[in-house]
Amino acid sequence: MRGWAGWRRVVLPAAGVTAVAGIGYGLTRLSESDAAVNWAQLASVALGVFALVPPLVGTWRRRQPGGTSTIEQIDRAERVLRVLVHEQWREEIVMRDLDEPARLPVRWKISGLDVMDQGEHVEGLRLLRSWFGFGRVRFDGRTDRMPEMASRFRKLDRRRLVILGEAGMGKTTLAVLLLRELLKEPQPGDRIPVLLSMSGWDPAAEPVHRWLGRRLRENYPALRAPEFGPDAARGLVAYRRILPVLDGLDELPEAMRPRAVNALNAASKVDSLILTCRTAEYVTAVNLHDGVALAGAAVIEPRPVKSSDVVSYLRDRLAPGQRADWTGLLSALKADPDGPLPKALSTPLVVWLLHKVYVETRSNPAPLCDAGRFPTAAAVTDHLLDNLVQASFAATSPDDDPTERHEHDHPFRSQRSWDPSEARRWLSFVARQMSEIGTRDFYWWHLHRAISRRWITLVGGVTVGLTVGVTVGLTSDAVVALRSPHEGSLRDALLFGLCGGPVGGLVGGLTGGLILERLKGYTLEPAYAKLRWRGSVGRLAVQLALGLVTVLPVGMIAAFALWRVAGISSQVDNLILYALVIGVIGGVTLGLNKWVTTPLTNDRPQGPLITLRRDLQLVYGRSLTFGLALGLAFGVAGTLVNGFSGLLHGAEAGIAFGLAGGVVFTLTFGFTGASSIYLVAVAMLRARGRIPLRLMSLLEDAHRVGLLRQVGPAYRFRHEKLQDRLAQLDDHDDRPEPK
């Protein structure tokens, strides 16, 4: 065991047992009945056994010797990952409008800046170039001719490429298209290109290979399936099966950029990669005292988009009824190439904005030719950005047929109807919060940062103290009063547990994570769960069997020892029954927990919606399981010791037991509660009118209409300029739509 990561497997169970013992002792002070004392001790036994589950889970997960995947397992993981990445980007490219038949041609050339390694390190020493003195590396290409770009990349000695350019010039677009082209027709020796955002990486705290392995596990949960061994992601990196496509070096702090480049140069396992960065930021990173160029990498830059290409691109997309309105603008692009409008349209971003705001909405673009209203290229860009959200939602409303609104049927259309002005106001709040944090990635489990920590703590305390305690207490008392389990009926005990356990445990599990939020601060991350009955019944049976074999002997021994020490009863049949129930409950709990957290080999990449759903599934699954287990243990204990009767005693026992279950559940299972915190944050922000109740649905629809892009489990605005512009709007800003 190293540090807290190892000691917590001992400390947390001990803390859980101590907490339960303290609550049990307090309960004995509330009641003068000897039976209540006995019940408290028995409840402590039941809860204490569950404190043994986390170490067993940890041991179970590390049962494979060596801790590394075999070559055969890595080969299988590579084949599965190639399919997953291809499916992921095939859909994403469609949503980003990057797969158009007549794509806007953006020309790329080798950089003339002094930011590239020596030519022989990039392309090797070519004989003809050496004879005739042509030492310059060549790398020309166009985004509408991606097979040529892919072929040129494959000819690089180390297959290292740096894509530079100013904001809006299409760096990420080129990286994505190149990724897709390399996947489309792989050649022998090709590695799997995987796009990862560099935002949030600290090369000093996390080495390159470890960071890549972690991001692969987060974005592609299928790599964690048992068939691929204990760590297939790390094996894919170690055996050079991955081509990292690292997007956004400029998003790291300035002092960290040269360290990141140095770390990539020193990483022996990462000899091929694609890197994107703004031009000025990369030049600065290379020229700092500790900076250096990416070794062996070709560095390319874009050329400004030609006005003739823009005119051709727009004409191909105009409907017959629109062409008359666009005559003046298209003529202006040809007549005055140095005007504000042609200058603005020299970047692919602004061309795309013009298409979304005016072409798709069938609006008349004549006002854009007014130099008095739009005297600069920046004014044109800001106008288009201000109207983008409203235009996108107005032009892509859901279909009228509700039976066709499925996630994959219409990727360009939103699934719900949103008021365009409200959608922009809500998205501006999200953009403002991201800018205040200083990030380009929106993770739903960070939403609570928009709320004062005092409010989160208050809501957590009230929710845990009242909801769990009152729910479990009232449920317990109602069942006790109606069924009288103190008469010794096992059937009544089971009924008592089945009624009270799921209700109290579910609420306790959903809110118990708020305790952990207070303990862990802002380090919450979503957990993984996969609830799929079809095709997994056999796997569930195996996990339950393993859980019973693992926990049943431990539970029975612990129950026997504590039963005798407590001196509750000398009846052997009661002892055996109680020990058997506790062991079975613990085994089933462990088996279900293992089953629900085991990924499948065909699991989709981790998108934002998927991570939220799976975290909620895990919360509900564990809460129901643990609540049922607690209820059963509570019911059996209450029946055997004949200790419950009366409203007051039932309420006292229920409140104490509910609070104990919430604390132990939080400590022993290490429940992060990311989705619980998210739901609380959404409710509080919705009450203030800052976001809709279905925030994730809004963001998913914004992704569908092209306003957001999806990078693993995070959403990003289509471009950082859009985020920055929306962040500047206040809640009551209402800019006019284009006429």
* 613-654 tens-digit pLDDT: 888 877 766 666 665 666 566 556 555 555 444 445 544 454
pLDDT for 505 = 53
Asked, for residue 532, whether it belongs to a domain, the answer is yes
Per the structure, the complete domain to which residue 23 belongs is given by 13-57+450-672
H-assigned helices in 345-397: 348-354, 377-395
| Residue 616, both tokens | 């909620």
Query: Are 164 and 239 within one domain?
Result: yes
Last-in-domain residue among 640, 655, 672: 672
Q: Mean pLDDT across the stretch 102-120?
A: 84
> Given pLDDT bands bounded at 50, 70 and 90, which one contains residue 456?
low
pLDDT in tens, 130-142: 444 455 677 888 9
pLDDT at 696 exceeding the cut of 60: yes
How many CB atoms are closer than 10 A to CB 369? 17
Query: Are 52 and 155 within one domain?
Result: no
> Given pLDDT bands bounded at 50, 70 and 90, which one contains residue 213?
very high
pLDDT for 3 = 45
Query: Are 47 and 157 within one domain?
Result: no
Query: Are 44 and 117 within one domain?
Result: no
Query: Are 28 and 115 within one domain?
Result: no
Asked, for residue 112, whether it belongs to a domain, the answer is yes
Q: What is the residue-averaged pLDDT of the chain?
A: 74
| Position with higher pLDDT, 85 vs 524 | 85
| Pairing of the two strands 160-165 and 298-302 | parallel
Query: Are 33 and 130 within one domain?
Result: no
pLDDT for 165 = 93
CATH of the domain at 134: 3.40.50
Query: Are 21 and 124 within one domain?
Result: no
CA distance 405 to 185: 33
| Position with higher pLDDT, 233 vs 416 | 233
pLDDT for 416 = 83
Q: How many domains does the chain have?
A: 2
Q: Mean pLDDT across the stretch 247-274?
A: 92
Which of 357-366, 493-502, 586-595, 609-618 has the least mean pLDDT? 493-502
CA distance 162 to 245: 10
pLDDT for 139 = 84
Calculate what percentage of the chain has a pLDDT beyond 90.
32
| Position with higher pLDDT, 569 vs 378 | 378
pLDDT for 455 = 66
Query: Are 51 and 120 within one domain?
Result: no
pLDDT at 610 exceeding the cut of 50: yes
Query: Are 32 and 116 within one domain?
Result: no
| Position with higher pLDDT, 630 vs 225 | 225
pLDDT for 9 = 45
Asked, for residue 689, whether it belongs to a domain, the answer is no
Query: Are 31 and 163 within one domain?
Result: no
pLDDT in tens, 56-101: 444 444 444 446 789 999 999 999 999 999 988 888 887 777 776 6
Asked, for residue 648, whether it belongs to a domain, the answer is yes
Contacts of 250 (CB under 8 A, 6+ apart): 257, 277, 278, 281, 282
Q: What is the dihedral of CA 521, 209, 216, 696, to 10 degrees?
A: 40
Query: Are 481 and 606 within one domain?
Result: yes
Q: How many residues does the chain have?
A: 739
pLDDT in tens, 144-171: 889 999 999 998 888 999 999 998 899 9
Query: Are 169 and 23 within one domain?
Result: no
H-assigned helices in 296-339: 307-315, 327-335
| Position with higher pLDDT, 467 vs 316 | 316
Last-in-domain residue among 302, 328, 351: 302
Asked, for residue 64, whether it belongs to a domain, the answer is no
Which of 296-305, 471-480, 574-583 has the least mean pLDDT? 471-480
Last-in-domain residue among 266, 287, 302: 302
Asked, for residue 407, whether it belongs to a domain, the answer is no
Inter-residue contact 586 to 552 (CB < 8 Å): yes
pLDDT for 149 = 92
Asked, for residue 39, whether it belongs to a domain, the answer is yes
3-class DSSP assignment, residue 274 = strand
pLDDT at 487 exceeding the cut of 60: no
Asked, for residue 420, whether it belongs to a domain, the answer is no
Q: Mean pLDDT across the stretch 49-55?
A: 46
pLDDT at 233 exceeding the cut of 80: yes
pLDDT at 468 exceeding the cut of 90: no
What sign for the dihedral angle of Cα 42, 43, 49, 52?
negative
Which of 52-61, 83-92, 326-335, 727-736 has the least mean pLDDT? 52-61
